[in-house]
Each structure stands twice: as C-alpha cells, then as structure tokens.
Amino acid sequence: MQRRTARLAAAAALTTISVLGLTACGGSGFSDTSDGAGASGELTSSDDALSVLIAASGDAEATAVTDAVAAWSSESGTGAEVSVASDLPQQLSQGFASGEPADVFYLSTDALAGFAGNGSLLAYGDRLSNADDFYPALVDSFTVDDQFYCAPKDFSTLGLIINDDMWAEAGLTDADVPTDWDGLREVAAELTTADHVGLAFSPEYARVGAFMAQAGGTVTNAEGTEATLDSDENVEALTYVQELLASGDAAYSSDLGAGWGGEAFGTGAAAMTIEGNWIAGAMSADYPDVSYRVDELPAGPGGQGTLQFTNCWGIAADSPNQEAAVALVEQLTGTDQQLAFADAFGVMPSIESAAEEWKSANPDEAAFLDSVEFAQGVPTQDGSAAVIADFNSQLAGLEDGDPTTILESAQQNFAAILD
C-alpha cells in the first residue's frame, strides 16, 4: 500500500501536551471590550510587521508555513516573520506576561479558555469571510461564551488501524471489519496469537474517550456548563474496555513496552490500534514495510463516535496590526493553502470545501475525514488539562479498577473547575 513520506508524526502531542501555565499569564490593553478590538469594534492597523509563532512537527511543517507566510507578505506588502518555538506554551506565556506577544500563533484547545478569560486574545473568528466553511464541531472547540475566537488550522480524528497481513493470516476478509462493539471484540480475539494481541491503544482519555463517545457518553453537557462524566453511558464504555483488557485480546500500549499505540502496531505487538491520521508519518518513517488499512471506529450502544483534536491560529489582543493578522489567517486557512499544507505535512483541512479534494488525494485515509461527522471534541474548559491528566492516571489502572469509582472521581474534579 503506497504511503506518503511526509506526515505529521509528532501530531500525537495534540492529545497530551499540558499548557496549564498559560492561563495564569497574559493581559491585554483592550480588556474593556469583548473581542479584543478597539472600543469602536474596529481592528487595530499599523505598518508594523507581523510576528508568527508556531510549533512544528518537523522541517516539512516549518518550511511550509514559513513559505506560505512569506508568499502572503510579498503579496500584501506587510512584513511577516515566522519563528518556530522550542517550547510553545512557555514562549506564549512569556510573551503575554511581557506585553509583547507574537501577533499570530498556534493555540491549543486547552489553552483557549484561560487566554480568552484574561483578555489576551482577539475574538476574530466571525470576521473571516470563510467562517462558515469550518466544520461546526471545530468551531465549537474554539468558541467561548458564544464568541468564535480563532480559526482551526487543521484537525485529526481517531480511526481503527488494521495490519493487512495479520488480518489475512487470521482468515479475515473485508466483510469482517467491525462495525460495532461485538464485532470488535470478535476480531480482536481472532487476531490475538502468542506473538501479538488483537488490539492495543494508549492508556488515556484521548483514546479510551472514543469508547465513551460510542456509548453516548460525554465529558460535559452540550453547553459545557455541567460535568457528565459519571453517566451510565460512560460506565458502560469503561466496563467494555475493561472486559477487552481482561480478556487478553486487547492491551494498553504501555503494557506491551510501547510508548503509544502506533509503536505497538508498527513493531507487530498488536494487529490493530486506535490512532489518528498522524500515524501515517510514523509508519512511513519507522515501519515502511507494514501494510495497513484505516477504517472508521465501530459503533457502540450510542452509535458511532470518535474524538477530534485541533489547534487554531490565535491572534493577540495586544497586536498593533490586527487587521493584517486576520488577513494572514484568512489566507492560511483558505482552501488552496490548507490543501498545500496537507500535501506538505499530512494534516487534514479544517474546512469543508477542501474535503473532497483531500479524500481524492488520500483515499486510503478517507475514513479519518469521514469520521468528522460523529467526532466529539476534547474538553476546552480552563483547568480541564489537569483534570484529564488525573483521569489518565486512573484509566491506567482500569483493568483492575472500578469504572464507576474512576468516573465519579473524574466527575468531582471536573465539576470543581466549572464552579
């Protein structure tokens, strides 16, 4: 199976990086308005060049973004310089604390609420001419108090990754690809041998949470104002995962000596894994001889469900040239540019207008993009990263633990940050 050589191998960090330090810093000279614009609601404008701060998964991403910004700068006549952060959370925090933040920057979902709350961000999303082109679920991830703060730059979802050779050796065919939990349990058992387990995934909410979504469970209510972790649906999900682990037909990647599901899969310790589209980069770079396929995750009692991960292009409320910053982001999130980024470093475009062309260029990975229709965003509330980190530590002991107790603890912790 042919695979691209340039992929977002490091994008798995989207699911694990904590930016707790960000929310305590910041402050804006425009704190008297709701969206960080001037008192009249107009954007600031000046001859100042723009500074752009990003975190790159590798040279391919750094080069692609730098070239795209340089092309916009040449065409617009506005200076712009890209810097690749060595520690993005720390450098963003320092910039806001000093009153001299970058004008435009990568921003994670778990950093949004803190920065929005202390007035550090310009809420510019609705000002974009392509605002209606972004997937609604991604817009929700960057909306605080009904304000669409920043444009999703790209995104990823989780899918079921299957080793072609192990699948065939077990006598399985296309008709056996699981579409529900019973089917997943059955093929995991069929694929398990003395040499490998049928299914492996990381011991964390960013993977186990997909089962919660499939059971119809959520972390909060739709408004994000009430914790819903201790629901019957989530108990059912964790019980199902616990049973998979206890059967020996599934295992946490850490129990297989692997750092993440992709490593367990690539080394042959597991016949299937649950991972995002970033796995393609790791497979082509580290395990090029492994043939595999990507399918949508099977449905649970609540229907199909997966998790989505994304970052946005943040703009500083203190930027003296907000007008140019918004124009730059609009260019970077346009259809042609997003498709160019996808080709350069393997991301999925965050806009619906690019979907068909992306799937045409990446037919083997179409399941990832199709999954956006039933994808659930990860928590974005201020303080959620700490709660999820604690939840992860409890999920690590799920096989011998009590699902109800684990969820009740997470419920209490999440409810506390919402008070």
Judgement on whether residues 351 and 300 belong to the same structural domain of the protein? no
Domain CATH number, residue 298: 3.40.190.10
- 336 and 231 housed in the same domain: no
281, 7 Cβ separation under 8 angstroms: yes
CB atoms within 10 A of CB 299: 18
Q: Which residues of 136-160 are buried (b: 16+ CB within 10 A; e: fewer)?
A: ebbbebbbbeebbbbbbbbbbbbbb
User: At residue 225, what are phi and psi to the nearest 5 degrees?
Assistant: -105, -10
d(C-alpha 149, C-alpha 75), whole Å: 26
CB 151 within 8 A of CB 313: yes
Could you tell me if 253 and 370 lie in one domain?
A: no
Judge whether 3 lies within some domain: no
DSSP 8-class letter at 300: B
Residues 61 and 151 reside in one and the same domain:
yes
pLDDT tens series, the chain, 419 aa: 333 333 333 333 333 333 333 333 333 333 334 466 643 479 999 999 999 999 988 899 999 999 999 999 999 999 999 999 999 999 999 999 999 999 999 999 989 999 999 999 999 999 999 999 999 999 999 999 999 999 999 999 999 999 999 999 999 999 999 999 999 999 999 999 999 999 999 999 999 999 999 999 999 998 899 999 999 999 999 999 999 999 999 999 999 999 999 999 999 999 999 999 999 988 998 999 999 999 999 999 999 999 999 999 999 999 999 999 999 999 999 999 999 999 998 899 999 999 999 999 999 999 999 999 999 999 999 999 999 999 999 999 999 999 999 999 999 999 999 98
Report the domain count for the chain.
Answer: 2
Reported pTM: 0.87
107 and 18 co-located in one domain: yes
Q: Are 258 and 269 in contact (CB under 8 A)?
A: yes
- Give the other-Cβ count within 10 Å of 182's Cβ: 10
Q: Classify residue 256 by its DSSP letter.
A: G
Same domain, 185 and 199: yes
- Residue 229, C-beta contacts closer than 8 angstroms, at least 6 positions apart: 217, 219, 391, 407, 410, 411, 414
Dihedral angle computed from the Cα positions of residues 218, 348, 346 and 167, in that order, rounded to the nearest 10 degrees:
60
What residues make up the domain containing 94? 9-156+309-376
Q: Is 112 in the same domain as 38?
A: yes
User: Residue 83 falls within a domain, yes or no?
Assistant: yes
Considering the domain architecture, whether residues 117 and 258 belong to the same structural domain is answered as no
Q: Is residue 68 assigned to a domain?
A: yes
Would residue 2 count as lying in a domain? Answer: no
**From CA 376, how far away is CA 272, in angstroms rounded?**
22
Q: Residue 249 and residue 244: Cα distance in Å, rounded?
A: 6
Q: For residue 213, what are the contacts with CB-CB under 8 A and spacing of at least 6?
A: 300, 302, 305, 306, 307, 374, 376
What value does the CA radius of gyration of the chain take, rounded to a whole number of Å? 21
218 part of a folded domain: yes
